[in-house]
Structure 1
Amino acid sequence: MVREFKLPDVGEGVAEGELLEWHVEPGDTVTEDQVVADVETDKAVVDVPSPVNGTVRELLAEPGEVVPVGTVIITFDVEGEAPTEESDQDATADTETEAVSDESATVGASEQAVADEGGDAAQASESVNGQGGRVFAAPSARRLARELGVDIAAVAGSGPGGRVTEADVRAAAEDEGESDDGGTQLESAVSRIGDDGGDGQSGDSGGLKSAVSRIDDGDAGEPAGASAGGAAGATGAGAAAQSIEAAGRDRTLAAPATRQVADELGVDIDDVPTDEMRDGEPYVDEAAVREYAEVQQRAQEADAEALAEAESAGEAGPPTTTAESGAGPDAVAAAEGDRREPYRGVRKTIGEAMERSKFTAPHVTHHDKVDATALVELREKLKPRAEERGVKLTYVPFVMKAVAAALAEHPVLNTQLDEENDEIVFKSDHNVGVATATDAGLMVPVVKDVDGKGLLQLASETNELVSKARERSIAREEMQGGTFTITNFGAIGGEYATPIINYPETAILGLGAIEKRPMVVDGEVVARDVLTLSLSIDHRVVDGADAARFVNTLKEYLEDPTLLLLE
């Protein structure tokens, strides 16, 4: 019997992963839970285990390929059962039931949780068309295809990885309707455009035009450039793309998960068309949001293509460097000798997190310096004792303890802003993240319950987590749950900085290098060990005065670290 194995959802919010390396080849015998591949998700490299005892039949993805969650990446011949052509078909037909039960035994409940969501476009279900090729489609798209009588195996997918979307199904249904009924069109499940035939449609005035517009084939007589953006018409293919007209409502009902998807796709949920009402208010689901975003993106791409063709024909202004090279408007031209590498995986996730934080939270940075002479002396005194116990003692555990003590006195810096419910959440735990530079970019392991641990335990846990982050073996849960973050840029060299908050936290502390500097002590200028501090805050939640008071308290603990014995 052939058993297919899909790329599981190995962490919250992961929609795809890059296959780094196969550890098996076709014909290899494997045991249950044996690692068969390494996959890089948005934060770490994870092991993909075999769900069965058997023999590797086929590897369906290449190293370096980015694979959507839910895609079949490997098939197995189950031990003791001979493969047949009939079993191949049965295995494909039973993928949705068998894959979930088999995979959940080895990767936990993540795959089952995604399957239970049903309509989540991040989880694609699978069928096989008449040519033996795989067709990926969301369950909601399959349901719509059944309702409209569309053969989903014949629909070309436009989503990630060739996934068939609801928009693709509607477009296919509309094509069939036009060819069979001479122009009769199907009603869109999202919205309708024009109820009085004023949209340029001829014939039956009762026919409804789908709100999901397609790229015409040049037979509708539409003027070039009829898209919402008003871009110049394409002269080569004679094609123009229409976008869905924004609804522009003042209020829309939607689930929190749907609003999060809209934020990720850059969609204003009040602009998404819908006919569905709940409690007398317009209601939008996730499928409608994704469909709206997808059609708008198609329209933008068509506009860009039309503009490029117009520029090349001399109809617009002088061509830009990127347009001359055939690239998009935001593309970067590369000269001879330049090197390119993919912007994806951990690096892309870090960039997106930084962008979200910087453009969501208004950052303000408070700078100060600490006379760390007593801290340096104490650390030098305790360092040999720590080494005897096999622990490397740095300054970071001292700072972590001081931060926890200061957060207890100034809890507004140990908060998160719940924008969905318009509430500030004061966290009861003091979980401190330690920003760590790795070959793949910045990672933030989190040390839990800092206020309840001693220096040696903090040092040991921090060293272990940082090492795992740099080796790319750290678990996802070991980088979650932080309430405050420390970044030690002074370890590399630096005095002050403006660190970016680890969103949705509301503060991050940057540590500069401890160096000998002149300071005035008892009226005399003397050399002292000085530590510089840079505290960035989310000014929506934390005021400048709060930041200053927090830093003043932190300085008291660092300038006299014996006070930490009381904590």
Structure 2
Amino acid sequence: MGTHVIKMPDIGEGIAEVELSQWHVKVGDLVVEDQVLADVMTDKAMVDIPSPVHGKVIALGGQPGEVMAVGSVLISIEVEGAGNLKESAAPAPVAAQEPPAAPKVETVAESKPAAAAGPRPAPVCQGPMVAREADERPLASPAVRKHALDLGIQLRLVRGSGPAGRVLHEDLEAYLAQGQSNASAPAAAAYAQRHDEEQIQVIGMRRKIAQRMQDATQRAAHFSYVEEIDVTAIEELRAHLNEKHGTSRGKLTLLPFLIRALVVALRDFPQMNARYDDEAQVITRLGAVHVGVATQSDVGLMVPVVRHAEARSLWDSAAEISRLANAARNGKASRDELSGSTITLTSLGALGGIVSTPVLNLPEVAIVGVNKIVERPMVVKGQVVIRKMMNLSSSFDHRVVDGMDAALFIQAIRGLIEQPATLFVE
């Protein structure tokens, strides 16, 4: 037997150290080649670290949340063969598809087999229950934990058949089938007293987001401005274009129209398309409009960038928004795709609420927030009619942007949206 030492690989782009976000294995686990061992976090991107060998984990080189230098020992694996010590960097990392600590979705580790490649065999329950300490937290995805709670099952009593003993949905079904629960359990659990606590370490993407939000609110002089916009006409145009060209060119959401409105309005308000270096006391106004589109992913809020929006058609913008959003949600967005924005557009879609106060994406000086569309009775030319209305809730850096300019900028966007033909008149 020998020991294969895997070192923290060089992620590239001159990165000298990365944060260890999550282990997918523990000491004593058997691993196979290409099985994901850990997630690590660079400046913004999460990447998987796969195993280059088959073997048994005998030592871990760090704890989640620890910042590790490139080239430091990541993990040691016992392998068959000569007894000499082998060292290598991990294989080229790939974009991770699961969040750091306290994941919100089914994790990659749950779907990766712990043996040779091929379909995962049906779980084999080796007994009706397994004894764990009262405070021991078994491995399971959030969906499995919720399922167990709904069924009134104590998860620590269920034997897990997944990798590293992870409890799967099938294990819950097997537990129920063996008569360890009863029909009254779900109802009883709904009213049972709870005294459990859960501590979640703030690491990985969540720590990056926390740092950036705290930095933004401490350094910038935020102020917000809210304006109501009638989107009836532009929604009619959008529906018409989707009916006519949706099959051949793709469906349009409201976002491409808003990006176009930003591009046109910025011609008269270039001070909004800027970055402020508060240390050097320099404002840089940019001709290129690189629109950051705030996107909620499984690891937190990310802002992929639609570059050169000023040169894109509606469908080009729509395709790029879709591509970037999918990459961000799947953890595959590159560092370049997540940096370099000059102004940000943020939207919660149908959950957009009435008003919001978005936080600036420093070093930018403006962010435009989109709230939900609602139908309301409005007075138009003396008549009460039903119109589709939406608020824009935007924030600005008062160190750079005056209140009057911010109001005029949003009013310009309002005029373009309410008279959508003006979006395309040169």
Q: Which TM-score applies when normalising by structure 1?
A: 0.51
Give the equivalent residue in structure 2 for 1:6: 8
Say if 2:227 and 2:391, in contact at 8 Å, map to a contact too: yes
Report the 3-state secondary structure (helix = DSSP H, G, I; strand = E; otherwise coil) of the residue aligned with 1:389: helix
**In structure 2, what residue type is equivalent to 1:543?**
D
**In structure 1, what residue type is equivalent to 2:7?**
F
Report the 3-state secondary structure (helix = DSSP H, G, I; strand = E; otherwise coil) of the residue aligned with 2:240: helix
**In structure 1, what residue type is equivalent to 2:350?**
A
**Compared CA separation, residues 391 and 4, structure 1 to 2 (3 A):** same
Report the 3-state secondary structure (helix = DSSP H, G, I; strand = E; otherwise coil) of the residue aligned with 2:280: coil
**In structure 2, what residue type is equivalent to 1:5?**
K
Shift of 1:523: 3.1
What percent identity do the matched residue pairs reach? 33
**In structure 2, what residue type is equivalent to 1:413?**
M
Map residues 462-541 of structure 1 onto 2, 5 A cutoff.
Answer: 462-541=321-400
Are 1:349 and 2:351 counterparts? Answer: no
**In structure 2, what residue type is equivalent to 1:387?**
G
Say if 1:3 and 1:78, in contact at 8 Å, map to a contact too: no
Say if 1:7 and 1:72, in contact at 8 Å, map to a contact too: no
Are 1:69 and 2:71 counterparts? Answer: no
Shift of 1:498: 1.0
Report the 3-state secondary structure (helix = DSSP H, G, I; strand = E; otherwise coil) of the residue aligned with 1:341: coil
Structure that is richer in helix per residue: 1
Report the 3-state secondary structure (helix = DSSP H, G, I; strand = E; otherwise coil) of the residue aligned with 1:512: strand
Structure of larger gyration radius: 1
**Compared CA separation, residues 77 and 502, structure 1 to 2 (3 A):** same
State the distance in 2 between where 1:55 and 1:490 align: 45
Shift of 1:366: 1.2
Give the equivalent residue in structure 2 for 1:21: 24
Are 1:406 and 2:265 counterparts? Answer: yes
Are 1:459 and 2:318 counterparts? Answer: yes
Are 1:383 and 2:231 counterparts? Answer: no
Say if 1:24 and 1:36, in contact at 8 Å, map to a contact too: no
Give the equivalent residue in structure 2 for 1:301: none
Match of residue 392, structure 1, among 219, 231, 251: 251
Say if 1:27 and 1:57, in contact at 8 Å, map to a contact too: yes
Shift of 1:106: 4.2
State the distance in 1 between where 2:419 and 2:380 align: 15
User: What is the root-mean-square deviation of aligned Cα atoms in Å?
Assistant: 3.4
List per-residue Cα deviations over 1:134-158 (Å, max 9, x = no partner): xxxxxxxxxxxxxxxxxxxxxxxxx
**Compared CA separation, residues 23 and 487, structure 1 to 2 (3 A):** farther
State the distance in 2 between where 1:380 and 1:509 align: 23
Map residues 76-475 of structure 1 onto 2, 5 A cutoff.
Answer: 82-84=82-84, 87=85, 106=92, 336-389=195-248, 391-475=250-334
Q: Greater CA deviation, 517-526 or 453-462?
A: 517-526
**In structure 2, what residue type is equivalent to 1:475?**
S
> Which 5+ residue runs of structure 1 have no aligned equivalent?
92-98, 109-334
State the distance in 2 between where 1:506 and 1:14 align: 30
Q: Which TM-score applies when normalising by structure 2?
A: 0.66
State the distance in 1 between where 2:40 and 2:93 align: 15
> Which 5+ residue runs of structure 2 have no aligned equivalent?
95-193
Shift of 1:499: 0.8
Report the 3-state secondary structure (helix = DSSP H, G, I; strand = E; otherwise coil) of the residue aligned with 2:267: helix
State the distance in 2 between where 1:442 and 1:506 align: 19
State the distance in 2 between where 1:13 and 1:479 align: 19
Shift of 1:426: 1.1
Shift of 1:457: 1.6
Report the 3-state secondary structure (helix = DSSP H, G, I; strand = E; otherwise coil) of the residue aligned with 1:69: strand
